[in-house]
């Protein structure tokens, strides 16, 4: 029997991807076991799903921390090891000309929430992989650097409802549909300091017909997500996933650099 990796999940809602991952762990399509499910919202269906499978759950609500900061920034407890200038030097979530107050508010409130996430995660023992399964919060460098301790081996995965790099953001299928695309898709990628911008682990596509509604697109997309995420996680579990920087010299002499997630075909 193959060794199992320990997987944690973060969610914000219904958790159908979470369910697909739990099922794949239980029926052996993923050599892994779920260590916990964390949510930024209480009372969501995904937590119920975890509970049904005896997977420990926890909630870190971002809302109250954001409210505290809005009322009085000095009242927000920032982590002792939080250094805003360090985070600003790394982040790719905001363009350089964004309002300073807005950026400060964002990274301070996120660090306060992410400190709690890290404590909850640490309390549940060693973890091999963190999967974001419909987690609707951007993680910042504060969290990413403390979780991804070896930058060459990223271990936070996300699933996004579009063929990245098209349509990042909160409404991938909606954006795909409104653009009039003939093909939609989903992407599993590692998290980096930007929004939906990290190295791509896997993608699946589906056709969009002229008669399709937005609901049809979401349904077709989710069906692909439920296949894609377990496949990508299993590749990670079997040690087949390797993130490499590649350099190509084009015919005109220009050098083209890219980060590629190589998937070994055998274990």
Contact footprint for ligand GAR (CB under 6 A): 13-17, 46, 133-134, 136, 159-161, 170, 172, 186, 222, 225
The smaller minimum CB distance to ligand GAR, of residues 111 and 131, is found at 131
Three-class secondary structure of residue 52 per DSSP: helix
The smaller minimum CB distance to ligand GAR, of residues 79 and 199, is found at 199
Q: Nearest approach, Cβ of 125 to ligand GAR (angstroms)?
A: 25
Q: Nearest approach, Cβ of 121 to ligand GAR (angstroms)?
A: 19
- The residue of the chain with the least Cβ separation from ligand GAR equals 134
| Sheet with strand 129-132: strands edge to edge | 57-59, 32-39, 5-11, 129-132, 156-160, 183-190, 200-207
Q: d(Cα 226, Cα 216) in Å, to the nearest integer?
A: 16
Q: Nearest approach, Cβ of 93 to ligand GAR (angstroms)?
A: 13
The 3-state DSSP composition of the chain as helix, strand, coil percent (nearest 5) reads: 35, 25, 40
The smaller minimum CB distance to ligand GAR, of residues 44 and 78, is found at 44
Q: Nearest approach, Cβ of 86 to ligand GAR (angstroms)?
A: 25
The smaller minimum CB distance to ligand GAR, of residues 19 and 76, is found at 19
The smaller minimum CB distance to ligand GAR, of residues 124 and 137, is found at 137
Using alpha carbons, select from 29, 40, 23 the residue that is nearest to residue 4: 29
Q: Nearest approach, Cβ of 262 to ligand GAR (angstroms)?
A: 24
How far is CA 83 from each of CA 10, 40, 100, 133, 208, rounded to the nearest angstrom? 25, 23, 15, 28, 46
Contact 115, 146 (CB under 8 A): no
The smaller minimum CB distance to ligand GAR, of residues 16 and 235, is found at 16
Q: Nearest approach, Cβ of 14 to ligand GAR (angstroms)?
A: 4
Q: d(Cα 203, Cα 180) in Å, to the nearest integer?
A: 20
């Amino acid at each position: 029997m193959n060794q199992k990796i320990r997987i944690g999940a973060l969610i914000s809602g219904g958790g159908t991807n979470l369910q697909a991952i739990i099922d794949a762990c239980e029926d052996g399509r993923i050599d892994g076991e779920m260590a916990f499910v964390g949510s930024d919202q209480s009372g969501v269906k995904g937590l119920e799903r975890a509970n049904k499978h005896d997977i420990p759950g926890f909630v870190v609500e971002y809302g109250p921390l954001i409210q505290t900061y809005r009322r009085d920034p000095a009242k927000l407890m920032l982590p002792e090891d939080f250094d805003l200038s360090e985070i600003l030097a790394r982040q790719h979530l905001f363009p350089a000309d964004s309002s300073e107050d807005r950026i400060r508010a964002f990274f301070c409130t996120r660090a306060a929430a992410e400190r709690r996430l890290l404590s909850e995660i640490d309390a549940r023992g060693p973890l091999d992989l963190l999967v974001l399964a419909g987690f609707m919060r951007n993680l910042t460098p504060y969290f990413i650097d403390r979780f991804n301790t070896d930058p060459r081996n990223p271990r936070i995965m996300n699933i996004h409802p579009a063929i990245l790099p098209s349509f990042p953001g909160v409404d991938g299928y909606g954006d795909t549909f409104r653009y009039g695309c003939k093909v939609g898709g989903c992407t599993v990628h590692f998290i980096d300091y930007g929004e939906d911008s990290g190295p791509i682990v896997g993608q699946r596509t589906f056709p969009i017909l002229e008669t399709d509604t937005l609901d049809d697109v979401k349904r077709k997309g989710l069906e692909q997500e439920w296949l894609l995420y377990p496949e990508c996680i299993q590749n990670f579990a079997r040690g087949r996933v390797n993130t490499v920087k590649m350099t190509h010299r084009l015919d005109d002499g220009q050098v083209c650099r890219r980060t590629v997630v190589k998937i070994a075909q055998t274990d």
